[in-house]
Amino acid sequence: MAETTERVLRLLGLFETRSVWAGPELTQLLGVTTRTLRRDVERLRDLGYPIEATPGVGGGYRLGSGGRMPPLLLEEDEVVAVTVALRVGAQGISAIGEPAVRALTKLDQVMPPRLRGEVAALADATALLPGATDDVDTGVLVALAHAIRDHVRARFGYTGRTGEASDRDVEPYRLVATGRRWYLLAWDLRREDWRTFRLDRMAGVRASTFRFTPREAPDAVEHVQQAIHRTGSAHHVRVRLSADVEAVRRRIPAEYGTSTQVAPGMTEVASAADDLQDLARHLVLAAYDVGASLTVLDPPELADAIDDFIAALAATRVSRLTP
């Protein structure tokens, strides 16, 4: 009996690391027969874990949603509160963005339907301050995180920069969060090449049950940065700030621009954006924060955008309420 219990717990542990497994994989890892594996799966089902069996090529066993909550030492109302907080953290792409997505993936896998409804209601009633990030559905983040972890293909509709819409079937490898956006590094099965996709341009994202053998992938962060600099923005700019390069890098992270020291106390920043006015605002505020003067090297239109922002700021009037 002790041996059986240990084996069932080990099987549950495997499902916690990856929700989709082929039957032969499990029998080999556990050292059991197919018949014993089926009995162990039934034991987990009796304990409240919804193990789904899918026959045929690309099938196997999947740990579905709606199982009993694992021993997290959290009350149900605490689970709802934590999940909503994680959704906000993930969508806000703050320093906790990626860990929040990983935690959401784990909670989503075992969330009972009743609690899932409470989370959805609270999420619908929650608003995030616009302007800091693009609007990304956390459901998309969780679906892609599941697919990456389980090595299963993902499918979605995608709208490119030119407005052309297409259906994509990919092998997802890594989610990359920049300061404003989420990107997916994936092997595009249609083009047979590594591609980056902006999550805010995706629609109908879903993970399949078709597993793939991981390829040797490029560095995700570097690949996304190259893609952004190559095709991601309409405006490319260069400015100089009269400040130390380390101070500038603390204010302008690598996701927003490349900072290079060109002389003692002088830093050149190369950046890009679709919205020149928005970039002008960020650069002016960065210069103010580090106490530096700002010189535009290229393009001349950036200087005009900066003048417009400063003029609008100077024209802003502040009123005070009198008691």
Give the residues across from 287 on adjacent strands. none
In angstroms, rounded to a whole number, what is the distance separating the alpha carbons of residues 23 and 43? 16
Instruction: Find the Cα–Cα–Cα–Cα dihedral 269, 275, 278, 283, rounded to 10°.
Output: 10
Alpha carbon 285 to chain centroid, angstroms: 27
pLDDT score, position 261? 93
pLDDT score, position 251? 85
Whole-structure pTM value: 0.49
Q: Is 313 exposed, middle or buried (0-12, 13-18, 19+ CB in 10 A)?
A: exposed
In angstroms, rounded to a whole number, what is the distance separating the alpha carbons of residues 276 and 233? 10
User: In this structure, what are the phi and psi dihedrals at residue 13, rounded to the nearest 5 degrees?
Assistant: -60, -35
H/E element, 257: strand 257-263
Position of tokens 């003067």? 293
Regions of the chain where pLDDT drops below 70? 1-5, 56-59, 65-106, 109-110, 117-136, 138, 178-180, 228-234, 255, 274, 317-323
Q: What is the pLDDT of residues 196-251, one digit of tens each?
A: 898 888 999 998 889 999 999 888 878 877 776 665 566 788 999 999 999 998 88
In angstroms, rounded to a whole number, what is the distance separating the alpha carbons of residues 197 and 182? 9
Closest C-alpha to 313, from 287, 285, 290, 294: 285
Amino acid code (one letter) for 50 = P
H/E element, 159: strand 152-159
